[in-house]
């Protein structure tokens, strides 16, 4: 992976002081940063929200908590113009999203979009659009997303002008000298998200790292976008997608660009005068933007209102409802037929849009292309395992690992296939090797704990998995069950209560907590947890059996 010089703005400032000073006030420069470096804009008197989640401020530090469990907010995503979301960076370098965000327009706390709990990992793909190029990033196909070094603070000059380490190699890009399409591609690297719903909306080209895009190269050389038309969907990151549907852009031969209205170096307010360069005024207000690009509430973040960049001919005109189409390429990319099948097949299985069709495309293409990229082969193995076709999944796993034995995450997934086939000893060996190659890999640690017959190894493995915040609730749930079996119900209860504070939807944790409380002799105290487990998961046979045992013991 390329290691990029950090903190480039001060370097650029030596020759471009006015632009650098102005850019510090642009929202792009404020998209990411440490909490202690950001001004306080929140109201901390609004401390309680939804099912016990709280935000508190103590000694200049911000914490989010549920029950006795809390995490400190270490980083902020978002400039605060519309919203700010909070992240926690753990000791092992992981970033997780915290459950409450501050919505500046409504001046209130509310749930972060699409999240409840403390388990959502912030991966390299998230940071690609919210930060400068990090140094020493792990978080690609072969590894978990962790950051050992200090992270940059916001988008910097390099994201639009290219790597600036050495001017003599002509690495600096002046976007004005590029074709209109390549100029737009610089903006669309982050602002062409066809949807935030599961599709997926895009796949990087095989072999490309997250931060490998460079201004001046065609965007489709780095990433391929997918689409599935929906009825006039309007989302937080839909500006580019909506703008590209506008007649003003489609009919003007490249004259309308993002930079026609937005100066990336200045926080200037967009004016309707821009429209009058092509259109005659009508009416008295000349408020072109207010009528033809109105602010709307977004569908994926309901507490935010943004400008709709689909320029409508008539005020508040909605797009004609498009017929529902299956997942397809957003553009007519020039791809060889086999590559087209590989990318589309991988897209179909990645977010389970159509696993059977995706498997068919991947199998047929890989059969004709034995040297198929490991991303496609691993995706096929994962999809086959989801279909319960474990022997076929194992075959793909073995081929993938033969050429890429360093892929610890793939090795752990293959071990799970062996486990599903009942080959526990072979699975345990693969889990141990994966954990040796990646010592904090939670899927490998959980696999060891499930497969081993050594209680001490299981205990240690659950504790390794618990170091990963996204896996912590599951690890503590299983550790609590193990501790109950070993005659330690008090320690089990502590682990299980923390698991439920992290993820209150875990039926397994509620069941195991009920079991631990019952083991400590409090049968009546166990019942509410077993009943909640059944509310969360009505077909949970083990919880129903445990509840029956408690009721029987209570002579009910």
- Residues in CB range of 43: below 8 A, 6 or more apart: 107, 108
Cα separation, 142 vs 138, in Å, equals: 9
Average pLDDT, the chain: 88
What are the backbone dihedrals phi and psi of residue 497, each rounded to the nearest 5 degrees, phi first? -65, -35
Whole-Å CA distances, 331 to 17, 128, 224 = 40, 22, 8
**Residue 144: which pLDDT band, with cuts at 50, 70 and 90?**
low
What span, in angstroms and rounded, lies between the C-alpha atoms of 128 and 190?
A: 8
SS3 readout for 201-218: CEEECCCCCHHHCCCCCC
Cα gap 464→439, rounded to integer Å: 8
* pTM score of the predicted model: 0.88
pLDDT band at 199 (very low <50, low <70, confident <90, very high): confident
Residue 321, pLDDT score: 60
pLDDT tens readout for residues 82-91: 999 999 998 8
pLDDT of residue 371: 92
Q: CA 238 to CA 308: how far, in whole Å?
A: 8
pLDDT band at 142 (very low <50, low <70, confident <90, very high): low
Residue range 140-165: average pLDDT?
Answer: 76
Is residue 404 within 8 A of residue 142, CB to CB? The reply is: yes
pLDDT for the residue 359: 97
Identify which of 154, 146, 77, 151 has the alpha carbon closest to the alpha carbon of residue 115: 77
Q: Model confidence over 459-514: pLDDT tens digits?
A: 999 999 999 988 999 999 999 999 999 999 999 999 999 999 888 889 999 999 99
Lowest-confidence segment of 45-54, 123-132, 361-370, 413-422 by average pLDDT = 45-54
Distance between CA 201 and CA 87 in Å, rounded? Answer: 24
Half-sphere exposure of 216 (CA within 13 A, CB side): 13
305 by DSSP, 3-state: which? strand
Q: What is the mean pLDDT of residues 178-190?
A: 95
What is the average pLDDT across 301-313? 89
Give all domains of the chain, ordered by start, each with its CATH number: 8-178 (no CATH), 179-266+289-334 (no CATH), 479-556 (1.25.40.10)
């Amino acid at each position: 992976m390329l290691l990029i010089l950090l903190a480039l703005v001060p370097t650029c400032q030596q020759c471009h002081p006015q632009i650098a000073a102005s850019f510090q006030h642009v929202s792009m420069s404020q998209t990411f940063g440490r909490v202690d470096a950001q001004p306080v804009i929140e109201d901390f008197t609004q401390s309680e929200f939804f099912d016990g989640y709280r935000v508190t401020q103590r000694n200049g530090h911000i914490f989010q908590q549920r029950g006795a469990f809390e995490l400190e907010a270490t980083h902020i995503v978002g400039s605060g113009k519309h919203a700010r979301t909070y992240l926690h960076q753990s000791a092992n370098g992981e970033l997780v999203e915290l459950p409450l965000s501050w919505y500046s327009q409504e001046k209130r706390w509310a749930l972060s979009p699409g999240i409840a709990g403390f388990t959502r990992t912030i991966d390299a793909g998230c940071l690609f659009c919210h930060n400068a190029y990090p140094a020493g990033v792990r978080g690609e196909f072969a590894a978990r997303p962790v950051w050992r070094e200090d992270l940059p603070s916001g988008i910097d000059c390099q994201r639009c002008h290219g790597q600036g380490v050495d001017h003599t190699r002509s690495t600096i890009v002046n976007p004005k000298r590029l074709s209109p399409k390549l100029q737009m591609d610089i903006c669309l690297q982050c602002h062409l998200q066809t949807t935030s719903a599961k599709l997926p909306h895009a796949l990087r080209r095989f072999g490309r790292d997250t931060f490998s895009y460079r201004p001046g190269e065609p965007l489709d050389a780095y990433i391929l976008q997918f689409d599935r038309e929906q009825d006039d969907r309007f989302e937080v990151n839909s500006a580019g997608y909506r703008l590209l549907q506008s007649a003003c852009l489609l009919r003007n031969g490249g004259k309308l660009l993002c930079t026609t209205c937005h100066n990336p170096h200045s926080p200037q307010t967009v004016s309707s005068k821009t429209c009058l360069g092509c259109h005659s005024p009508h009416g008295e207000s000349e408020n072109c933007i207010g009528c033809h690009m109105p602010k709307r509430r977004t569908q994926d973040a309901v507490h935010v209102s943004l400008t709709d960049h689909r320029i409508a001919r008539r005020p508040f005109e909605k797009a004609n409802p498009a017929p529902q189409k299956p997942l397809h390429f957003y553009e007519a990319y020039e791809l060889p037929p086999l590559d087209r099948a590989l990318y589309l097949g991988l897209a179909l299985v990645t977010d389970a849009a159509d696993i059977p069709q995706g498997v068919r495309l991947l199998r047929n293409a890989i059969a004709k292309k034995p040297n198929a990229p490991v991303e496609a082969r691993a995706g096929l193995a994962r999809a086959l395992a989801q279909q319960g076709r474990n022997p076929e999944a194992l075959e793909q796993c073995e081929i993938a690992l033969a050429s890429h034995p360093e892929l610890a995450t793939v090795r752990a997934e293959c071990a799970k296939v062996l486990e599903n086939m009942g080959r526990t000893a072979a699975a345990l060996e693969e889990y141990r090797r994966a954990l040796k190659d990646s010592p904090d890999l939670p899927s490998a640690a959980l696999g060891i704990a499930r497969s081993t017959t050594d209680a001490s190894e299981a205990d240690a493995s659950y504790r390794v998995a618990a170091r990963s915040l996204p896996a912590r609730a599951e690890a503590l749930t299983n550790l609590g069950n193990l501790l109950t079996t070993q005659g330690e119900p008090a320690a089990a209860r502590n682990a299980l209560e923390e698991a439920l504070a992290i993820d209150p939807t875990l039926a397994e944790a509620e069941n195991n907590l009920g079991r631990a409380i019952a083991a400590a002799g409090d049968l009546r105290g166990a019942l509410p947890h077993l009943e909640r487990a059944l509310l969360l998961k009505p077909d949970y046979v083990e919880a129903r059996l445990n509840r029956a045992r408690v009721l029987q013991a209570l002579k009910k």
